[in-house]
A and B are shown apart, each in its own frame.
Chain A
Amino acid sequence: AMEERRYRSASGAPIALQCRQHSACCRELAVRCPRLQLRSLSAATSAVWLVAYGLSALSENSMVLSAAMFIVLIGLIVYLHFVKVDQESLLVIGSLGIQVTSSYASGKESTTFIEMGQVKDVVINEAIHMQKVIYYLCILLQDPGDPQGVSEVVPLFQSSKPRLDCLIEVYKSCQEILEQRKTAPQSS
């Protein structure tokens, strides 16, 4: 079963949350960020090229224009491949682990897998981030020496930064699966 709902990110951009239930203990939650707008891309490109044209007219050097073209091209490729995130998804498989995937606009996908033994809990934490206080979902990793301790915090959905209503949905979904670990028979 799959359902999609619209929410807003922390900065106000529209995002969409897709929730797929693959089986009783396997759920995939994906947050889709807004696509790169053609008008903002052309605005940025025209601005850079106008500045380069002005500079080349002032300095009477045509190398400035070709350098600007090169920079815009390389910059766009780097931005699409390393910065612009298209979709961030969370795949929770009870008793196996949690997989976090980030898909970039250029098609690149980077995944991280955390096995269930290391996962202490998935919580909504609030922290100060760049003169704002934001809510963000994070995975708490178990400290091997201390059963109550947290060794690491893995923040999720860093590029899309959903607001609290979306985070609560994701949190409830994850908790339903994580609760099964307590009721399931321990096997280690």
Chain B
Amino acid sequence: ENSPAPLPERAIYGFALFLGSWFGFILYLIWAYIPETWLFSLGLTYWPQKYWAVALPVYLLVAIGIGYILLFGINMMSTAPLNSTHTITDNYAKKQQQKKFQEEAIPALSDIPISEVNRMFFLPEK
């Protein structure tokens, strides 16, 4: 029932959005470029200051630029420092229950403690 295939309703929504966005863009151009006196003579006196026709796009672009740097910084801040136990374990691994070992069966998925992993990798068993 929830397929992404094209439907007549979706075509109508798309066309309405297309017309709406073109209308909004032409309105924005009229507001930004047509001199105030001409707009007043037409009777449109209560439109916002033309200052905002430049200010809002600039605000948006600066916000996007800062967003890149902010995201980078947030990522660096949420990386666990080298001396935290979060690099070794977490709540799920602490609370896990040891399932009983069954012969001829695949062992259950579980977190292997770091000491055991180290011994397996770095100490060669003779």
Contact = CB atoms under 8 A, between A and B. Distances in A.
A182 interface: no
A123 B79 contact: no
B33 interface: no
Contacts of B113: 148
Contact residues of A: prevailing secondary structure: strand
A172 interface: yes
A125 B122 contact: no
Contacts of B83: 138, 152-155
Contacts of A138: 82-83
B88 interface: yes
B88 A153 contact: yes
Q: How large is the interface on B (under 10, 10 to 19, 20 to 34, 35 or more residues)?
A: 10 to 19
A150 B89 contact: yes
Nearest to A154: B83
Interface in A150-188: 150-155, 158, 168, 171-172, 175
A127 B122 contact: no
B87 A127 contact: yes
B7 interface: no
Interface in B92-119: 94, 113-115, 118-119
B69 to A, nearest CB: 15
Contacts of A154: 83
Contacts of B119: 175
B82 A136 contact: yes
Interface in B58-93: 76, 79-80, 82-85, 87-89
B123 interface: yes
Nearest to A143: B85
A108 B66 CA distance: 42
Nearest to A158: B82
Question: Which 9 A-B residue pairs are closest in the complex by CB-CB distance?
Answer: A127-B87, A121-B115, A155-B82, A123-B118, A168-B122, A123-B114, A153-B83, A128-B79, A155-B83
Interface of A: 120-121, 123-125, 127-130, 136, 138, 140, 148-155, 158, 168, 171-172, 175
24 contacts: A121-B114, A121-B115, A121-B118, A123-B114, A123-B115, A124-B118, A124-B122, A125-B87, A125-B88, A127-B82, A129-B82, A130-B76, A138-B82, A140-B88, A140-B114, A140-B115, A149-B94, A150-B88, A151-B85, A152-B83, A153-B82, A153-B88, A155-B83, A168-B122
